[in-house]
């Protein structure tokens, strides 16, 4: 008899207001990262991120106070996107990878603003200024030291997920006047330029 295909092992994503989202996560040792418990956690975080769907997930978002996150911006998320929209955001597919104990430094500090959401602030979005390019030193899923340099949307994802490991959410960095439901964003603002939005919301700059 044929066995049934295995289903993804997903985890509950905690929402804003949960204390763990405001705590500094602890570092992992290389031995911990290589251990069975963290390897199982990585697999379940990957499945949870994909099921959501999202482009990143940090351990505090699933109730674990660890400096661990998974990143992936899949081709199928971008397949139907307008090429000009992708170019404006400097967005391209990013293969799945794991970061532990990340140390982020800014490579290009000039802030870039785009709407950003979060799996732990479900149903909302806002304009968030982020550095255009960053450099991150981290340990990979085997506990090996790595360095990655990223720009555009990839850099935004890294900044967002690493913030989670410090107890910071995008609402702490957002342009507060732009905070809105994702439904209203899609209905009123999705196809308007940043300049039009700034004028409509009486934003400086």
Catalytic residue chosen out of the listed positions 72, 113, 141, 161 = 161
pLDDT at residue 10 in the model: 87
Does the global pTM surpass 0.85? yes
**161 belongs to the catalytic site:** yes
> Model confidence over 59-118: pLDDT tens digits?
999 999 999 999 999 999 999 999 999 999 999 999 999 999 999 999 999 899 999 999
Q: How far is CA 36 from CA 28, 40, 80, in A?
A: 13, 6, 38
Dist. CA 121–CA 91, nearest whole Å: 22
Angle ∠(87,137,59) on CA atoms, nearest 5: 85
CB 20 within 8 A of CB 63: yes
> Model confidence over 109-142: pLDDT tens digits?
989 999 999 999 999 999 999 999 999 999 999 9
Domains, the chain, in order of start with CATH, read: 19-119+127-175 (3.90.45.10)
């Amino acid at each position: 008899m044929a066995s049934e295909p295995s289903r993804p092992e997903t985890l509950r994503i905690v929402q804003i207001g949960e204390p763990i989202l405001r705590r500094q996560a602890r570092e992992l040792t290389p031995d911990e990262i290589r251990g069975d418990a963290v390897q199982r956690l990585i697999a379940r975080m990957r499945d949870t991120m994909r099921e959501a769907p999202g482009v990143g997930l940090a351990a505090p978002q699933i109730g674990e106070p660890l400096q661990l996150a998974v990143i992936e911006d899949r081709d199928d998320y971008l397949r139907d996107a307008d090429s000009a929209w992708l170019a404006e955001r400097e967005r391209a597919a990013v293969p799945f990878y794991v970061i532990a104990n990340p140390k982020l430094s800014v490579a290009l500090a000039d802030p870039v603003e785009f709407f950003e959401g979060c799996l732990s602030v479900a149903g909302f979005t806002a304009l968030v200024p982020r550095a255009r390019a960053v450099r991150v030193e981290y340990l990979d899923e085997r506990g090996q030291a790595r360095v990655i340099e990223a720009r555009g949307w990839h850099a935004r994802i890294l900044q967002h997920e690493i913030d989670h490991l410090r107890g910071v959410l995008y609402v702490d960095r957002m342009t507060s006047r732009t905070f809105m439901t994702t439904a209203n964003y899609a209905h009123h603002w999705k196809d308007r330029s940043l300049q039009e939005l700034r004028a409509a919301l009486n934003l400086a700059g």
